[in-house]
Structure 1
Amino acid sequence: MTSHAKPSGTAIPSSAAHARNPGMTLDLDRVAGASANSAAIARRAAQIPARRSLKGAHQAAWLARAVTLIDLTTLSGDDTPGRVRRLCAKARQPVRADLLAALDLPAITTGAVCVYHEMIAPAVEALAGTGIPVAAVSTGFPAGLSPFDLRLKEIEASVAAGAAEIDIVISRRHVLTGNWQALYDETRAMRAACGPAHMKAILATGELGTLRNVARASWVAMMAGADFIKTSTGKEGVNATLPVSLVMVRAIRAYRDLTGFKVGYKPAGGISKAKDALSYMALMKDELGDDWLRPDLFRFGASSLLGDIERQLEHHVTGAYSASWRHAMG
């Protein structure tokens, strides 16, 4: 993205309808053929923030769009229903009304609220009538090492509790040992257990060893029917990065070209600054187009990111930066 262009359409998009990815038969030849030129990927990734040039109202429009793409997340061992309800209140009104009025923008919400299974009920109650989906992390998150039958039951329980989206974790050992059939079979069974709920397949890319493994795991997850592929749980030592994202979104593009089906993308973990969000959005626009700048095909897994975006929007309106504590998440 080299110009000051706004995302096409209005600053606050509605979801674009597209057919859900049904998956396909595992094609081991195509998986084996997936590759990644690390040097070229690193060069291209380095260009993305360097080429981004957004100022003034154009930057504010992109940041407002970014708010609608956030899966506002709390995945802490000390989560309580009260904390989740406060987070849901922030999801319902993520940016102060006076800032939206000054920017001449309508009311917006975040893309979803993401919680552990135990917090689904208070989240669903707090978001009733808003249209904001509840996403639940399931399948033995974050390691994905619990017995497989229990992982499937956890998915089913989360869907029954009201989760409209399920963030599953793949078995990393299948990637590391090249057991693509096992990875496909497990992910396919998880997709079936999700039923009507959309499935985001977390690859935990920081634990996959190579970019080639990231590319191959992306293909297998999409062949198994993933609605989204997601970088990380946020608990790994290395989470979302631009090089990994480039590999994954190019796999999404190739899968679309092969099958005609669009798969979403979710970078997660370590994205806390507004400038970083703009870089990821630039990547999506350049590599996949405007359709992937909408919440049905692109999400950020984040919490503190929203606070920094709101702070930047306030600076655009007032010319001054406020303290970060003025933009608490809950």
Structure 2
Amino acid sequence: MSGSLAHWIRARIGAGAVENRADISTFVLYTVLTMTALVTAVFLALTTVLAEFELLPVSYATAIHLGSLKTLLIAASVTALLACLASMAIQEMLVTRAEHRRRKELDPLSGLLKRDAFLDFMHMTKVRGFLVLLDIDHFRIVNERYGRDAGDAVIAALAEDLRRTFRSPHIICRYGGEEFAVLFTGMDYDDCLLGIEEVRRSIGSRSIRVGTRAFSVTTSAGVADFREDRSPAVALKVADHALYLAKSLGRDRTVHESETEQLLAPSRRSDTVRRRKSGKNSRARAVKPSPAERHAGDALRPAQSSG
């Protein structure tokens, strides 16, 4: 009996019929009313059959009057007790499932979503806005110079700043290692940039202490538009490219995808100039005669008359 009840409860939870306390209360009330009505119906049917065969010790009216009250009272009490026990079991299962989901979806150090959970949300959501990739500058040096505890302290501090700045409906995750991702809901880039710069300013002004030593860090960010005609994979690739450019330009800055061409233009001009200079030098070296050629040229030069 208990095994069947537990199996039924799990089936109800798995079907999504019970998700919170309100659902449990509804379940208890529904169960009490249903079982009471069922028992009452069985009592009335049995009493009618007994009366038909004149097996009742009292009149039919008296049996219905007295028996109905007792049946209702007993059925309601027993059913309520069983329903309360079932609700306790359901509550325990919900807590266990919530804890399992939390461990599966949340990063234990930062308390933010893990990468897989974040990617699942990106594929399912219809939200449009901006995708931000934020990276801690020189994180490897922090670990090497101050130890892994220092790196963990930086990650926890940055996660705290992100949670404080980007509240719901924005989604935050620890994307991997020292990299974080934010799915900003809303089409106003100025608001998005304001939040990013607030996080970068806050973490940059912190004094991270490990033992007797203290240090601070900077961060770089790349931003891509997250729109309907762009898949999550493409948005991540574009944001990663913008982050790479922010790192290449000296770190401690934010770059939006629309700025990449403008920021790359000076570098491309410099590359063009270098290639042109390299080409000229190569051509000059190519036409410059070798000593042997110069000697051969002198030998072939016509002799001048003596007068």
TM-score by length of 1: 0.21
Larger Rg: 2
TM-score by length of 2: 0.22
Q: Which has the higher contact order (CA 8 A, sep 6+)?
A: 1
